[in-house]
Amino acid sequence: MSSAAPSPFKVLVIGSGGREHALCWKIAQSELVSEVICTPGNAGIAEVARIGTVKATDIPGLLALAKAEAPALIVVGPEDPLAMGVADRLRAEGFEVFGPGAAGAQLEASKSAAKDLMERHRIPTAASRSFDRSGLAKGYVEGCTTWPQVVKADGLAAGKGVYICQDPAEAKAAVDAIMEEGRHGKAGIRVVVEEFLVGEEASIFAITDGASVLVLEPVQDHKQVGDGDVGPNTGGMGVYSPVPELSKRIYKQIEQHVLLPSIHMLRREGIAFRGVLFIGLMLTEAGPRVIEYNVRFGDPECQALVRRLQSDLVPILLATAKGELESIETPEWDARSVVGVVAAAEGYPQSPRKGDRIDGLKDAAAVDTAVVFHSGTKLTRTLDGDEEVTTAGGRVLTVTAMGKDSEGARDKAYEAYDKIRYAGKFCRRDIGRREEARRLQAEA
């Protein structure tokens, strides 16, 4: 008897950003999958998946949706539901889930907890102290002799809870903003004060089921809002992959000195981790140091990764969810370069404008190799009954394109970006041009 092909199954993706659009786009291409359902989704995700109405943090709603749809795999995109324990709750009901439980998500959800673990397991990171009383934190920074010092809100603050302080006055103001003024809400119940690290930032993504590890291709984000790395930090303004300046030797060093010890740390702590570990690093003169752990794919890094991944993503996610990652062969990657440019809305990252009609999406998608992923977009019905796509967030789209080198990819990505129109649109013009960005900064 010949073994029958497994019957196609449903996949449920939780989230609504560019990362989730990229995941749905890739998952929908799998022959194993009959339908992708994404909740709450966005206007672009609606083109590749059926959209749900349940919010990503509505745990009872998500449980009910999962029971109604019976997906064979659930993929959790963002960190908030993971920190709330959505993966534990779904697993307890028998679902296969890609994404760590609450204990694993603590790596991202509490910087002080992550620091404690790193210290205990000797993972290289910045020396730090944690405080849950503002007076103690301020007393400590008074006595610091080396500056700058970095003051961080302990909890999830969407990348905005980090203050690089040049002197005790600035550090005390940061402690007050976080702990007394409540600028980051509950995330600021505790602060971490840490040593300032000097070097080049890099990140590494590894899918793991706690035992096996699959290291993904290098991908580089651009965090600051302005060309030449100026202005406030954002969730990410653009990406490129591969990353030529991150040599194979350094990448291996990161794997050996940081990534594998981190997986080992999780095992030793008895934390079952089935998902993706995203480690932010500083490449210092003394070697790589962990800046932070994240427990989900980066956004917009994910958009670049799915463009280059040639293998089917679904078997990888499903095997991870089941704790069978070992059975997966090394995936194939497109040798070409990808560049992704984030189209943002005026006012981002502080207070972006919303509700503007987006035109030109079809023209952008028609550019050779271009794929446009939606982040903050919404389908809106006009008074005439027509549907239109409008802006609904600070980061609106990620426009990706490929080329034989980053120059070629960049030209195509900006060509596609320029075809999109909405009021208040802006982007960084230097994505993939790190060297140039540095020069601009030096001249500024």
Partner in contact with 194, chosen from ligand GLY, ligand AMP, none, beta carbon below 5 to 8 Å by kind = ligand AMP
Q: Which does 162 bind (CB under 5 to 8 A by kind): ligand AMP, ligand GLY, none?
A: ligand AMP
Closest residue to ligand GLY, judged by C-beta, is 236
Give the interface with ligand AMP as residue ranges (CB under 6 A): 126, 150, 152, 159, 162, 194, 196-197, 201, 223, 233, 280, 291-292
Q: What are the residues binding ligand GLY (CB under 6 A)?
A: 159, 221, 235-236, 294, 298-299, 301
Spell out the alpha helix ranges (H) of 39-181.
59-69, 79-83, 86-92, 102-109, 111-120, 134-142, 168-175
126 versus 246: smaller Cβ distance to ligand AMP: 126
CB of 181 to ligand AMP, least distance (A): 19
Q: Select 89 or 222, whichever has its Cβ closest to ligand GLY.
A: 222
For ligand GLY, the closer CB: 141 or 291: 291
In whole angstroms, the minimum distance from the beta carbon of 280 to ligand AMP comes to 5
Q: How far is the CB of 35 from ligand AMP (least distance, A)?
A: 36
Closest CA to 60 of 84, 77, 35: 84
Smallest gap from Cβ 427 to ligand GLY, in A, equals 15
- Please give the Cα distance from 69 to 47 (Å, whole number): 19
Helical ranges in 269-379 per DSSP H: 301-308, 313-322, 361-365
| Smallest gap from residue 13 Cβ to ligand GLY (A) | 16
Three-state DSSP at 437 gives helix
Measured CA distances, 365 to 308, 359, 376, 398, 414 (Å) = 17, 12, 18, 12, 12
Residue 301 binding: pick among ligand AMP, ligand GLY, none (C-beta 5-8 Å cut-off by kind): ligand GLY
Q: Between 420 and 431, whose beta carbon lies closer to ligand AMP?
A: 431
CB of residue 150 to ligand AMP, shortest distance in Å: 4
Residue 303, φ and ψ in degrees, nearest 5:
-65, -35
Residue 221's binding partner among ligand AMP, ligand GLY, none (Cβ under 5 to 8 angstroms by kind) is ligand GLY
**C-beta separation of 75 from 12 below 8 A:** yes
Nearer to ligand GLY, 159 or 261 (CB): 159
| Least Cβ distance, residue 347 to ligand AMP (angstroms) | 21
Taking the least distance from each CB to ligand GLY, the nearer of 230 and 366 is: 230
Nearer to ligand AMP, 14 or 291 (CB): 291
Partner touching 80 among ligand AMP, ligand GLY, none, CB below 5 to 8 Å by kind = none
Query: Taking the complex as a whole, how short is the minimal distance between the CB of residue 221 and ligand AMP, in angstroms?
Result: 9
| DSSP per-residue codes, 42-68 | -TTGGGTSEE----TT-HHHHHHHHHH
236 binds, options ligand AMP, ligand GLY, none, Cβ within 5 to 8 A by partner type = ligand GLY
Name the residue among 30, 31, 34, 87 with its Cα closest to residue 56: 87
Q: Find the distance separating the first CA and the last CA of the chain, reported in whole Å.
A: 72
Which option in ligand GLY, ligand AMP, none does residue 299 bind, with CB closer than 5 to 8 A by kind?
A: ligand GLY
Q: Which of 250, 252, 274, 249 is nearest to 263 (CA)?
A: 274
Rounded-to-integer distance, Cα 110 and Cα 191, Å: 10
Contacts of 423 (CB under 8 A, 6+ apart): 346, 353, 356
Place of tokens 């790190």: 434
Based on CB atoms, which residue is closest to ligand AMP, 161 or 352?
Answer: 161
